[in-house]
Amino acid sequence: MPITPATAAHSSSSGTAEAILLELVDENGVTIGTEEKLTAHQPPGLLHRAFSVFLFDERGRLLLQQRALGKYHSPGVWSNTCCGHPYPGEAPFAAAARRTFEELGVSPTLMAEAGTVRYNHPDPASGLVEQEYNHLFVGMVQSALRPDPEEVGDTAFVTPAELAERHAKDTFSAWFMTVLDAARPAVRELTGPSAGW
């Protein structure tokens, strides 16, 4: 399935336009239906399945991504390595690996599940709402990045101290600290105590 902006449609095998659908879930993460992507993000937001990936280099530094300026939601802000939504019926792990490759041109290694977190974060800039049941993943990146400029404006590897410095001066996604804090136990297990996470 091709990757397109949320506002665009793509053609199905029958040649008809098909909306990008998200998987709606209940408070326990059980699938209850589907909804078009932009509709699911309109206030007050519909609870849907999402994923967030945190990749680290061999020195224990976190790979941050600055979202491309052309993105419809939270353009230009810094966030975790990769985040997105599985297609309906797609396993979150598979979606996380797929989108990481599509956005950054790398396949994560040692990627593991790091739990889930549920949140409700309005985005004041766009007026959209992130009502998400988010599957968290941590892993390593061991090859050169090849970011897609349609998706990624910039990247940076940061230590915890560098992240704190950057977080104080740059704009980050509304969900960033929520997902990072929820993933910290798995991050510490992956990177070891010396990395400082």
Per residue in 164-197, pLDDT tens? Answer: 999 999 999 999 999 999 999 999 999 999 999 9
The 3-state DSSP class for residue 9 equals: coil
Are 80 and 176 a contacting pair, CB within 8 Å? yes
54-102 pLDDT, tens digit each: 999 999 999 999 999 988 778 899 999 999 999 999 999 999 999 999 9
Give the separation between CA 141 and CA 56, rounded to whole angstroms: 6
105: exposed, middle or buried (Cβ count in 10 Å: 0-12, 13-18, 19+):
middle
| 83 given a catalytic annotation | yes
- Residues present in the chain in total: 197
pTM: 0.89
> Reduced to 3 states, what is the DSSP secondary structure of residue 36?
strand
Say which of 23, 103, 130, 132 is annotated catalytic.
132
Q: Is 82 a catalytic residue?
A: no
Contact (CB, 8 A) for 92 and 86: yes
- CA 152/CA 103 separation, integer angstroms: 7
DSSP secondary structure letters along 41-96:
TSTT---EEEEEEEEE-TT--EEEEEEPTT-SSSTT-EESSEEE-PPTT--HHHHH
Q: Which of 23, 83, 130, 151 is catalytic?
A: 83
Backbone angles phi, psi at 158, to 5 degrees: -135, 145
Query: What does the pLDDT read at residue 17?
Result: 53
Of 104, 12, 11, residue with least CA distance to 53 = 104
